[in-house]
């Protein structure tokens, strides 16, 4: 006997029932409604190295050389908030990343890629072109009284594009042009964070539900409560379109924190800020399997935890698990100690090299699994019960095993 209770704040509940009968049938039916994924760049299935923050161009070069020196492969290096000019997205810090072009050239010579963070909130600064173009085009979210909505986020007083409006998405996509975003190029990829949207001084750390959006209407007639769950989806969509406009023949790569049904068509997701703990390591397994069973196969968790400092054993064990995530990224909070894979001693470095090499030796397998997901809707991670719904023992391992 199964009972469910549904609560929704506004609008009409559209309920789709996929009757299977097999899990594979259910997922194929789900994708027939929500759309099919796109193939990511092959390199996106390799190792990603990130932290908040690599402090300047020399720091990036040192980390890049460190991987070569210790013979540990990686493909993507990530830059968080501090690479920008005062947390103005689509910019570079004029001191610490003044030589961003030379840095990108260095990475490209070795076939490596760079990812920069581009959050949705815009610093309210009349000298910030991205903000003024959005404001002057009438494409920012409004308060219930019709005035421009101002919230507080990383840059301080911030304004939020109305991504529900197709015109806002079109303008946002144009910002990826090198004429607008200095050093924007084919191999510069994107990370959309804080796009629930996060508002530090808002209710539930988000936007007031009675804020107003234009969406497809002539005026601001749609309340935020009606589109809250798709705000991040539309932000993600606009960024993907920006990469496609910039280079139509290059597969886009945009990571998002907020997602909705259909986000799998756009790019990868991750489980958000986690802690350095054995418990969070263990919880990553059912979280990622659940996402895969909901169509979001290209997903991962921050390795070896975002907040806190891992000891040597947890560091190694989490990476040994992380190479089995479809999206494998090492990431760390601003206040943590450095954790490049050669910083835990010679023996640990050798184990990390072997661990990461295992990921790369299996890239053909990962690429095949991703292609099967794209073409057939098959989940990349599968619970132990996936192929035999009658195996009662398999259900006991839903949280600690996957294929």
Q: What is the DSSP letter of 303?
A: B
Q: What is the DSSP letter of 381?
A: S
Strands (DSSP E) contained in 101-154 are: 113-117, 122-123, 151-153
- Report the alpha-carbon distance of residue 253 to residue 246 in Å, rounded: 13
3-state helix, strand, coil in the chain (%, to 5): 35, 10, 50
- Report the alpha-carbon distance of residue 401 to residue 397 in Å, rounded: 6
| CB-based contact 76:115 (threshold 8 Å) | yes
**What does the CA dihedral 232, 271, 84, 109 come to, rounded to 10 degrees?**
-110
> Is 372 designated active site?
no
Active-site residue identified among 273, 347, 388, 391: 273
Q: What is the DSSP letter of 357?
A: H
> Is 391 designated active site?
no
Active-site residue identified among 162, 193, 223, 340: 193
**CA-based angle 100:61:348, to the nearest 5?**
145
Structural element, H or E, at residue 299: strand 299-300
Q: What is the DSSP letter of 6?
A: -
HEC-encoded secondary structure of 169-229? HHHHHHCCCCCCCCCCCCCEEEEECCCCCCCCCCHHHCCCCCCEECCCCCCCCEEHHHHHH
Catalytic residues: 193, 196, 273
């Amino acid at each position: 006997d199964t009972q469910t209770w549904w609560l929704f704040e506004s609008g009409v509940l559209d309920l789709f029932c996929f009757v299977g009968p097999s899990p594979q049938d259910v997922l194929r039916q789900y994708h027939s409604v929500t759309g099919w994924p796109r193939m990511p760049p092959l390199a996106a299935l390799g190792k990603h190295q990130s932290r908040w923050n690599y402090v300047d161009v020399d720091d990036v070069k040192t980390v890049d050389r460190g991987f070569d020196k210790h013979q540990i492969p990686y493909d993507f290096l990530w830059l968080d908030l501090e690479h920008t000019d005062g947390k103005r997205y689509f910019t570079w810090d004029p001191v610490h990343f003044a030589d961003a072009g030379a840095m990108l050239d260095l990475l490209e010579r070795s076939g490596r890629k760079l990812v920069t963070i581009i959050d949705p909130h815009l610093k309210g600064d009349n000298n910030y072109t991205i903000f003024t173009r959005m404001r002057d085009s009438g494409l920012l979210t409004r308060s219930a009284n019709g005035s421009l909505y101002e919230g507080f986020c990383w840059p301080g007083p911030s304004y939020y594009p109305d991504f529900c409006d197709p015109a806002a998405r079109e303008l946002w996509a144009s910002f990826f042009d090198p004429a607008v975003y200095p050093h924007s190029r084919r191999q510069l990829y994107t990370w959309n964070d804080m796009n629930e949207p996060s508002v530090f001084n808002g209710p539930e750390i988000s936007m007031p539900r009675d804020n107003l959006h234009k969406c497809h209407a002539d005026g601001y007639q749609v309340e935020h409560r009606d589109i809250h769950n798709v705000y991040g989806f539309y932000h993600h969509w606009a960024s993907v379109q920006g990469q496609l406009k910039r280079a139509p023949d290059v597969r886009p790569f945009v990571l998002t924190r907020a997602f909705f049904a259909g986000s799998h068509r756009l790019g990868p997701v991750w489980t958000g800020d986690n802690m350095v703990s054995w418990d969070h390591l263990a919880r990553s397994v059912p979280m990622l399997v659940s996402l895969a069973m909901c169509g979001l196969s290209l997903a991962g968790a921050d390795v070896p935890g975002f907040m806190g400092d891992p000891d040597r054993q947890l560091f190694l064990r989490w990476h040994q698990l992380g190479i089995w995530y479809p999206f494998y990224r090492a990431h760390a909070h601003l206040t943590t100690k450095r954790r490049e894979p050669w910083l835990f001693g010679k023996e640990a470095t050798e184990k990390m090299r072997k661990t990461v090499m295992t990921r790369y030796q299996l890239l053909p397998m990962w690429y095949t699994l991703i292609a099967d997901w794209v073409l057939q809707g098959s989940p990349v991670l599968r619970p132990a019960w996936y192929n035999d719904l009658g195996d009662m023992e398999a259900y006991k391992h839903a949280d600690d095993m996957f294929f």
